[in-house]
Amino acid sequence: MKRLEALRCAAMKHTHSNDEFYYRFYKRYHENEGMEEYARYADAFATAFGELTPVIAPDELIVGTIENTLSDAEKAEWADVYRPVAQERARRAGPGQDSHMAIDYPLLLSKGILGIVSRIDVLCEQANTEQRAFYFAAKECLLSVIALSERYAAWADSMAQEEQDPTRRAELLEIARICKKVPAKPADSFYEAVQSVHFISFCLSLNPLRLCSQQFQLGHPDRYLLPYYENDVRRGVLSRERAQLLLDCLGIQINVRVPSGLSSGYMVGGRDRDGRLVANDLTEMLMQVVDDIRMVYPAVGLCYTSEMPDVILTQACELLAKGRSHPAIFNDDVISKGLERYGVPADEAHDYIHSTCVEITPVASSNVWVASPYTNMAQLLLNTMQEEHSDFDALMEALLARLDGIIERNFKAQNDFRRTRTENSLNPLLSCFVDDCLARGVDIEKGGARYNWIMPSFVGMANLVDSLYALRTLVYERRELTVSELCACLANDFVGHEALLARVNALPKYGNNVDEVDELFTGLIDHIVKECQKYTPMHANGRLIPSVFCWVMHERFGRETGATPDGRRAGFPLGDGSGPCQGREKNGPTASILSSTKWEHYELIGGVAVNMKFSRSSMGANSIDVMKALIRAYMTRGGFEMQINVVDRTLLERAQKDPDAYGDLVVRIGGYSDYFTRLSPQMQAEVIQRTEHRI
């Protein structure tokens, strides 16, 4: 469709900048120095929202975008005067994670902002002084969102008066009508609901104390949008085609709201809070968005259950077979079991979100810090190898002792960051949509959320396992060389030691269903899970929950890590998740699945990512059935998540040589997707080197 292509092209070229908001916020904030912090924040927030420039692009149906429309004088004032103020305030607010969550969209749609304001008014009657300050700021921020939506309504109305095309004029008038109504009031139609969902997500992304892009997820739209869709279809005021267009426009707006290199989207399928299977028109349509707009977002997660209708999994595989990098397939049973393991009630355990890549957080109730921090497991081994050990067991004991020390130090550092945020940060608008902040009268930044987890991630597990096997075999069993001699070879990046490198490469590797290799992975995971259980982060329901995914950190760590005993050369990316290292799957995809499911996944709610790459040129009449069988096998064996690239090496190599011609080529990385030509040369090489299975 011409409209979609125009919006898509504009979004591909969009430059992300929140400078107008930051400038207007901090100009007012600076003027009110000395005011009580919640009041100061609320006043600056309301001022900024009251002055933001509404932006409605040609052909847009879902609106809410910020562009840097500052004058040259304002840009200079922002750079010279107020940016330093903003940076200092953000520094004082503290480091740590944010926006890895989905808010309470059903609350927004059913009550509207004014309904939440009414609740705050009631809560204020019994509140203490500190709570009243929080409630005041929350209410002011909510009313600011309404004011901005009304500014959009007025702008759309003024655009309509100038519009010559009657069709577009009618569209602008409808946008004006909807923005006057939502998100202030409850949504009554599908269009109103979609606009309300986007607008609040857009407003939440303008966080003055976090000078970075926000990645809020949209939860499970095939659940909370379904009543509006079915009612409109039943009344004859909405066709499936029109609904698909609105969802496509929503998907494009995610790309405008969140820059590439991150991850933002939604989940579909699975089971709802009552345990009922979710598989409906919107489940299919929300996946279809991926094919319609062909962009890096939405990051779609399909929640798999064994009872899922075959048509849903077939559609997912057909999208992947086209070369789309979404959806990723998540195991609803495994994830729900894991959430219950960490104290989430059964009726909430199916209501989760992949909070960016594969990290799982409960919807509408989380202040979870994901990937906090990443640990380089390959470097951990290299550090351990600086001392000789009498046997392999002694080496392992030393390695695990170092690992335990890292886990403890990292936990203490992250918990200190939490304490800093508690003392110096606030986010009253977000708190309105996260249980139990309003009920407790406590800001999300100060511990008001129901779940306050920290999720460290351990990167390069497959490199560590393959390296340990090589050490055990070559050093401690065959006695071919000592650890110090091996370290000397590694320091030279195997140059001059090509025969040793060949012997290392000939050894069995993780991902080929070799028990004596795979058991090393299992032992390490068991140890990490038990070690993390020793620590309790501050605030309600604090947990330290591990993960084994990497985002882009396998490339960053690899760049700074020397050669490793598994045969990996210096500077090359580490393994891209919890599956085998790049190019080491020699026995086909089934063997790879068997290896990567010999250890329990459900306790790693922080995220487990398994990448598989299939040759697009080899796809035949039976390939979809084979792909479905592999997915089902992985899920049946307790796999957490599988992400699939269907692409040919030759296509990727052409894109390297002519990036302008392949600007929209999307590939799956380490839990998220990105435009291939925007990746670093090292990351491009890593994607190309992954084993390309033929099915």
- Over residues 295-324, the pLDDT tens digits come to 999 999 999 999 999 999 999 999 999 999
Residue 494 half-sphere exposure toward CB, CA atoms < 13 A? 18
User: Does some domain include residue 70?
Assistant: yes
pLDDT of 455? 98
Question: What CA–CA distance (Å, rounded) separates 452 from 130?
Answer: 21
Classify residue 288: in a domain, yes or no. no
Residue 680 lies in a domain: no
- Give the pLDDT mean for 552-567: 96
- pTM here is 0.95
Express as a percent the part of the chain with pLDDT over 70. 100
State the Cα–Cα distance between residues 625 and 635, nearest whole angstrom.
15
Calpha distance 62→64 (Å, rounded): 7
The phi-psi region of residue 506 (left if phi > 0; otherwise alpha if psi is between -120 and 50; otherwise beta) is: alpha
User: Domain containing 403: what range?
Assistant: 369-614
Closest Cα partner for 547 from 318, 370, 329, 297? 370
Residue 577 has pLDDT above 90, yes or no: no
- How confident is the model at residue 467, as a pLDDT? 98
**444 is a domain residue:** yes
Q: Is the pLDDT of residue 656 over 80?
A: yes
Confidence of residue 75 (pLDDT cuts 50, 70, 90): very high
Domains held by the chain: number: 2
Residues 474 and 480: beta-carbon distance below 8 Å: yes
Rounded CA separation 589/540 (Å): 42
Q: Is residue 661 part of a domain?
A: no
Checking if the pLDDT of 628 tops 90, the result is: yes
Mean pLDDT confidence for 353-381: 96
Q: Taking residues 218-222, what's their average pLDDT?
A: 98
pLDDT band at 673 (very low <50, low <70, confident <90, very high): confident
Give pLDDT tens digits for 400-431. Answer: 999 999 999 999 999 999 999 999 999 999 99
- Detail the DSSP E strand segments found in 327-416: 328-331, 352-354, 360-362, 369-376
- Residue at which a domain ends, from 589, 614, 639: 614
Q: What is the mean pLDDT of residues 516-543?
A: 97
Give pLDDT, residue 621: 82
- Residue 240 clears pLDDT 70, i.e. is over it: yes
Q: Residues near 565 by Cβ (< 8 Å), separated by ≥ 6?
A: 381, 385, 466, 467, 468, 470, 471, 486, 490, 504
Enumerate the β-bridge partners of residue 675.
666
Query: Using 50, 70 and 90 to split pLDDT, how confident is the model at 689?
Result: confident
Q: Which of 200-214, 308-322, 367-381, 576-590 has the lowest mean pLDDT?
A: 576-590
Tokens 């890895």 belong to which residue? 100
- For residue 647, tell me if it sits in a domain: no
pLDDT at residue 334 is higher than 80: yes
Reported as a pLDDT band with limits 50, 70 and 90, residue 234 is very high
* Per-residue pLDDT band at 691 (split at 50, 70, 90): low
Q: Please state, in angstroms and rounded to a whole number, the distance separating the CA atoms of residues 556 and 572.
A: 9
Under DSSP, is residue 239 helix (H, G, I), strand (E, B) or coil?
coil
State whether residue 606 is helix, strand or coil: coil
Domain boundary among 556, 590, 614: 614
Beta bridge partners of 330: 303, 641
- The answer on pLDDT for 383 being more than 90 is yes
Residue 690 has pLDDT above 90, yes or no: no
Domain presence at residue 488: yes
Question: Residue 281: what pLDDT?
Answer: 98
Q: DSSP label at 627? A: H
Q: Tell me the β-bridge partners of 643.
A: 611
**Of 614, 645, 679, the domain-final residue:** 614
515 falls in which pLDDT band (50, 70, 90)? very high
Assigned domain for 515 exists: yes
Give the pLDDT score at 662. Answer: 86
Whether residue 149 has pLDDT greater than 70 = yes
Average pLDDT value for the chain: 96
* DSSP state at residue 330: E
